[in-house]
A and B are shown apart, each in its own frame.
Chain A
């Protein structure tokens, strides 16, 4: 508390405070170092290893070859399994999430806040535990027993099947789909829907021509948020699929740890990173394209 009233001080008018470049740099430096050492370098090493050869004892032995990629291409099954699970999972999340987000955004009234918090809570709880819970529910002492009796199949099993993994994926990532959908629908001008109905459009037409196009950016964001982690999911296929549903995640761990074939594993990891970058690239392209057409329509 050194300042007196401004009038008592013969100071000039306050110049706009320009923070020093040094301070800016120092503020960013730790995060920058973290990214460099724990993201850029590890990924660089994986890319380097993916072109290398496996040493007889496992690990990496230098050299340059594209064999690892050729092998990864030839054994594309884990990729295809992951791809099919992720695409189905994304579509299911959308089909389940869109009506839910629509309800919360337009019908929930004062309970909106509560419903959103109820949606965030599962997202806050341990992924492992939420997956583990299905182990009991789907197990022979859970749903599998009664369902087996009902359809008359002895020893009916759900665990270890693709269905179980699919269910786990949808369950695990559904909230990530609903958040962006909710945000876009919440911002929507509801009068557009009323205008559409006043102009004689039916419910379906209104949904198709008004609500869905408005929700589209949220749909695309949600699909991307859900698809990418599903592609790389490791825990769910391991627990609910018993490792029998063999995804990229499982395959990566097998290559890196059990067979200690770092180059082969690295090639697969690079493949997964490429899938991720392609999805993000599509997303960025799509959002910018949407922005441009919207601007044009205004003009």
Chain B
């Protein structure tokens, strides 16, 4: 760190003698900070790199026996009917959850802005509970709830005579809970930081509320909405805990396949499926990140982290 030059008149005899020593400590601290950062990033990426590298393993037997680069497991996995079905289910669950969460979450954020305080405060509390409650608790609670309402001996089943049971609908509705709250918070943060002058200008120019919303507010909210959509898709696509407990016959998703493989014994194909999952979610999120930051830079870029990453970081910090 470059400390400003010591003001001329300040006399610090004791300190001055020790100054060289202090700077050596300073250099050590700097070096340590740098090394620490490097090591932590290596730690964060090591597992991801291992999975991706071993997904190209040409071995026919053990996962960890490296036998040269090969795409054989990609061919195997992409040809595999079972994997295809699991992947398809993950896409269905991801897209449906993302749509529901984005629409309902955005609507709620817009509504809450105008809701009276007595309503907003308890509503916010519920929103935070839905985010912070341990996933395993909500998974089991939802399982018990579905089982005793629309399950085989459930109350709703007894009354209506129709057994809805478990399937896409239970997975998507359970996953939407967390993701609605996520979108709600992202969009609301954006609304709070929004420039109101354009909206007022639009009203001054006789813009109707409807047109003002679509022409002024919505474009400003779009980065948050897109981020919310992409994150919801990812969380639903990747989810294991909730999906594991509320899925129905034939609606298992790809994380459940991976977990099953871990249980039964890992094969080289497990790495390939894992790498494919990474490919899907990271392509989407990094694509979104790129699009959003590109637009932000055009509109007079700040030296800030933008896009989905910026929204995530700010949200966690706020």
Contacts and interface: CB of A to CB of B under 8 A. Distances in A.
A235 B240 contact: yes
B305 interface: yes
Nearest to B2: A194
A132 B51 contact: yes
A94 interface: no
Interface string B253-284: 00100110010001000100010011001100
Contacts of B62: 141
A229 interface: yes
Contact of B270 (A46, A107, A118, A132): A132
A210 interface: no
A253 B107 contact: no
A156 interface: no
Given A38-B142, A116-B313, A179-B317, A171 B107 contact: no
A38 B316 contact: no
Contact of B142 (A42, A123, A137, A252): A42
A63 interface: no
Interface stretch (B35-43, B79-87, B159-167, B190-198): B35-43
B115 A194 contact: no
A261 to B, nearest CB: 12
Contacts, number: 273
A276 B132 contact: yes
A27 B141 contact: no
Nearest to A176: B316
B238 A126 contact: yes
Contacts of A133: 46-48, 50-51, 274
A280 B126 CA distance: 13
A3 interface: yes
Contacts of A126: 238, 255, 274, 277-278, 281
Interface residues of A, number: 103
Contact of B180 (A31, A183, A200): A31
Contact of B312 (A23, A179, A231, A239): A179
Contacts of A272: 134, 137
B25 interface: yes
A286 B115 CA distance: 28
30 contacts: A3-B206, A11-B206, A17-B203, A30-B104, A31-B107, A31-B108, A31-B184, A39-B129, A43-B141, A45-B148, A99-B33, A99-B37, A116-B310, A118-B41, A120-B309, A120-B313, A132-B262, A133-B47, A133-B51, A136-B51, A136-B54, A137-B47, A174-B44, A183-B316, A200-B12, A233-B134, A239-B259, A249-B134, A256-B140, A272-B134
Interface of B: 3-4, 6, 12, 15, 22, 25-26, 29-30, 32-34, 36-37, 40-41, 43-48, 50-51, 54, 62-65, 103-105, 107-108, 110-112, 114-115, 123, 126-130, 132-138, 140-145, 148, 173-174, 176-177, 180, 184, 203-206, 209, 231, 234, 238, 240-241, 255, 258-259, 262, 266, 270, 274, 277-278, 281-282, 285-286, 289, 303-306, 308-310, 312-314, 316-318
Given A31-B180, A135-B266, 6 more contacts: A14-B204, A37-B173, A103-B37, A118-B45, A126-B255, A183-B317
